[in-house]
Chain A
Amino acid sequence: MAYEPQFYPGATSVAENRRKHMSGDVEKLREISDDDLTTVLGHRAPGTDYPSTHPPLAEMGEPECSIREIVEPTPGAKAGDRIRYVQFVDSMYNAPATPYFRSYNASINFRGVDPGTLSGRQVVEARERDMEELAKFQIETEMTCPALSSLRGATVHGHSLRLQEDGVMFDMLERTVLENGYIVAVKDQVGRPIDKKVNMGKPMSEEEAAKRTTIYRVDNVPYRSDSEVIEWVHRVFEQRTKYGFQPL
């Protein structure tokens, strides 16, 4: 019988959504063009070549190495791209993703990525074109609501703050605004004004966000109600504790 990863315990919609994020089996909800993505990321001008830090691997004459023979380089590594980042902020008011599940999605489904997980933001560093592939995936799918999630390189606070009156997550630098029912980016990740506005998509309704979210909340899916998850945490805790006390 073929092994089927279970990814995550739990019987609730939150647990199911966590399994979806981890497996990468998520619904595509919108599209963002390559140029628009490049614009909001702010690492280079749209349409320009990827800056590189070394020549393409094929031209470098790599040393003999069994690991290099086993591991196929990512497209970005092959081309010699520099390492760049994408950083998401997700509101605790039912944004679809949470930092750890963005990291799990990246680690399980993408190669050559270096996720960093914080409470208010989640960063992935990778070769630039590899990073863009991941960023595009997460932005275009149900992992992201444009009103409750946003790209923020710096000055990131917002995940835990009350929402604005229009239901958009607070951003000190107002990188995005709600215009005619759509979230529009007017600044790039680090808050530099951009020449052309970028349509990031339509906000999820409150009901849809509650349905797609991966955060437990007492006013939606209470953590207490998912006893299997708590039991699993207890098991991890107990095993780590006992092993440290008596490792043999």
Chain B
Amino acid sequence: MADDRKKLFQKHLEIKFTKEHGTNKMEGGKITDMRIKYHRLGVDQNPRKLEMKKAGQEIAKKRGLVGYNPMMHCGGIPLGQRALTPSFISGTDMMVEIDDLHYVNNAAMQQMWDDIRRTCIVGMDMAHETLEKRLGIEVTPETINHYLETLNHALPGGAVVQEHMVETHPALVDDCYVKIFTGDDELADEIDDQFLIDINKEFPEDQAEQLKAAIGKTTWQAAHIPTIVTRTTDGGQTSRWIAMQVGMSYISAYGMCAGEAAVADLSFAAKHAAVVNMGDMLPARRARAPNEPGGITFGNMADIVQTSRVDPDDPAHVTLEVVGAGCMLYDQIWLGSYMSGGVGFTQYATAAYTNNILDDNLYYDVDYINDKYDGAANKGTDNKVKPSLEVVKDIATESTLYGLENYEKYPVALEDHFGGSQRATVLSAAAGSATSLATGNANAGLSAWYLCMYLHKEGHGRLGFFGYDLQDQCGATNTFSYQGDEGLPHELRGPNYPNYAMNVGHQGGYAAIAAAAHAGRGDAFALNPLIKICFADDLLPFDFTAPRKEFGRGALREFEPAGERSLIIPAK
């Protein structure tokens, strides 16, 4: 296929590398130049670094103890010996400082994770059956509405049946609420709009039908505990907090005794029997509760991201948004902080969602697939190409060669992804996602991921680093194995899958492969319809339809997070 298309990264790399930012003296030149003058200007060339340097000096003066001092780098040779340049958030024109994509510096990133960790889905049907059959209490749409009004008072921390009780201040927990959703249209019609996630309204018609068919006439609560609570405790707290307030609200709303044996039945049915966490509990050696990032399967991550319902006809876009969300949560927060304690993973993970380099590769692949396989990368089920090793080899090879050649033709692209593992992730995410799109099969996409790694390593004589390459050298052998502890359907794999537990830089791409298979088919969800519906909710502070844009808003300091403590601290 002729490589005469306009590169999606061209405009942004030209701005990034041939225009001056701050005082970095980068004006001029071309993005194809292989040589450049290095001005070695240090941190003072960059506005954000200057702000940080000044803050460090002020902190040292105030507390009488030194802190941030960029001259501590390399014994007095500060960062910025090459130009410090901003980046563009892929799929947008938002230009941001790269420091502002560290999750500590980005409120939107924090909120994305908060919104996932503070969420559980709790079934209502067993509780209703217990009320009706065990206690003879009638459950009607009116009683459900009343219960939901009660729970929206109690879930943030309001008392419902106690006489003398401490409560949380509503202004500190205003992001906490519960809504419900159901596959029963008749019931949905009777539920007060404020409490309903309306499947028919939030999803395109065909997706709504798929979702309602998948969940049947069941009814579920999408509950979100306060951000401030989840940040003080952990993901395991979410189901417990919800359970406690759910129990109290049933007792209050349905006028029950707070001690009779039947309430024990209700407690189990209402609080524990049908709880869906976003992430599974991890084994003791990693010692994490449910609803921590290491337990979130790639399929669940694909379902948490909501681009598929607002832009279903562009499955590549759906995929790329999952890449962004996955790289941020799995690499920057999970592996980068929880598991390693490092700070540098941001530099690493952002490669996949900045400057349109991955986007360019994937959209090239879409064109290649549609030309060669008769529109197989478009949304649909009848247009898919049957997965085979020949198809995997063809798509993965073309995708990888195209991506490698971009790094060779555009030295600034290579410099932007200056680490081999950045390039490896981007190339493999493109190859894997493209193969998923074409086949509708995530394990075929995963297979393409591994072939891409092999091809990349042989082409450039280098890949990532010891720990990075290891999994990619052996991964092909478990791609299609479904034997316990050796393999799984890709959607059910996750960060704690044996071969992936220390798979730095890979997991956003893996999540994208899961998303691509289903977005490519036009599926309403990848793994769990309940999770897909739960996050179809505009009231959440983080907009899950556009994670990358939200990260950009966070970097530009435009994002308004929840869980702030301004109310209870001295005014500044």
Query: Which residues on A are within 8 Å of B, measured CB to CB?
Result: 18, 92-93, 97-101, 116-120, 155, 157, 159-165, 167, 170, 172-173, 191, 214-219, 222-224, 229-230, 233-234, 236-238, 240-241, 243-245
Q: Which residues of B contact A163 (CB under 8 A)?
A: 34-36
A233 near B454 (CB under 8 angstroms)?
Answer: yes
Q: Which residues of A contact B36 (CB under 8 A)?
A: 162-165
The interface bits of chain B over 397-428 (1 if a CB of A lies within 8 angstroms of the residue's CB, else 0) are 10001001101110110110111110110000
Q: Which residues of B contact A164 (CB under 8 A)?
A: 35-38
B33 near A99 (CB under 8 angstroms)?
Answer: no
Q: Which residues of B contact A215 (CB under 8 A)?
A: 459-461
Measured CA separation A214–B460 after assembly (Å): 8
A interface secondary structure, majority = loop
B421 near A237 (CB under 8 angstroms)?
Answer: no
B77 near A100 (CB under 8 angstroms)?
Answer: no
- Tell me how far the C-beta of B44 lies from the nearest C-beta in chain A, rounded to whole angstroms: 16
Residue in B closest to A241 when the chains form the complex, CB atoms:
B476
Q: Which residues of A contact B420 (CB under 8 A)?
A: 118-120, 160
Is there a chain A Cβ closer than 8 Å to B457's Cβ?
Answer: yes
Q: A119-B419, A163-B36 are in contact. List 20 more A-B contacts (CB 8 A).
A: A98-B461, A100-B457, A117-B462, A117-B469, A119-B420, A119-B424, A120-B419, A164-B36, A164-B37, A167-B35, A173-B74, A191-B74, A218-B408, A219-B408, A222-B405, A238-B389, A238-B393, A240-B477, A244-B479, A245-B481
Is there a chain A Cβ closer than 8 Å to B464's Cβ?
Answer: yes
Q: Which residues of B contact A173 (CB under 8 A)?
A: 74, 77
Measured CA separation A162–B415 after assembly (Å): 7
A-contacting residues, B365-423, CB 8 Å: 389, 393, 397, 401, 404-405, 407-409, 411-412, 414-415, 417-421, 423
A-contacting residues, B517-531, CB 8 Å: none
B476 near A237 (CB under 8 angstroms)?
Answer: yes
Measured CA separation A222–B451 after assembly (Å): 19
Q: Which residues of B contact A241 (CB under 8 A)?
A: 389, 447, 450, 476-477, 479-480
What class of interface size applies to chain B in its complex with A? Answer: 35 or more
A-contacting residues, B477-504, CB 8 Å: 477-481, 486-487
Q: Which residues of B contact A244 (CB under 8 A)?
A: 476-481, 486-487
- Tell me how far the C-beta of A156 lies from the nearest C-beta in chain B, rounded to whole angstroms: 10
Identify which of B423, B451, B465 contacts A118 (C-beta below 8 A).
B465
8 A-B residue pairs with CB within 8 Å: A120-B418, A160-B417, A216-B460, A217-B408, A224-B401, A237-B454, A244-B476, A244-B486
A118 near B38 (CB under 8 angstroms)?
Answer: no
Identify which of B37, B405, B486 contacts A165 (C-beta below 8 A).
B37
- Tell me how far the C-beta of B402 lies from the nearest C-beta in chain A, rounded to whole angstroms: 10
Identify which of A160, A222, A229, A240 contacts B458 (C-beta below 8 A).
A229
Q: Which residues of B contact A223 (CB under 8 A)?
A: 401, 404-405, 459
Identify which of B34, B37, B455, B463 contacts A233 (C-beta below 8 A).
B455
Q: Which residues of B contact A160 (CB under 8 A)?
A: 407, 414-415, 417-420
Measured CA separation A101–B459 after assembly (Å): 12
B interface secondary structure, majority = helix
B401 near A162 (CB under 8 angstroms)?
Answer: no
The 3 closest A-B pairs by CB, nearest first: A119-B420, A98-B461, A244-B477
Q: Which residues of A contact B424 (CB under 8 A)?
A: 119
Q: Which residues of B contact A161 (CB under 8 A)?
A: 82, 414-415, 418
Q: Which residues of A contact B418 (CB under 8 A)?
A: 120, 157, 160-161
Identify which of A155, A237, A243 contacts B451 (C-beta below 8 A).
A237
- Tell me how far the C-beta of B275 lies from the nearest C-beta in chain A, rounded to whole angstroms: 35
- Tell me how far the C-beta of A160 lies from the nearest C-beta in chain B, rounded to whole angstroms: 5
Contact A119 B463, CB 8 Å, known A92-B414, A240-B477: yes
Is there a chain A Cβ closer than 8 Å to B23's Cβ?
Answer: no
Q: Which residues of A contact B74 (CB under 8 A)?
A: 155, 172-173, 191
B464 near A118 (CB under 8 angstroms)?
Answer: yes
B450 near A170 (CB under 8 angstroms)?
Answer: no
B459 near A118 (CB under 8 angstroms)?
Answer: no
Q: Which residues of A contact B405 (CB under 8 A)?
A: 218, 222-223
Measured CA separation A101–B465 after assembly (Å): 14
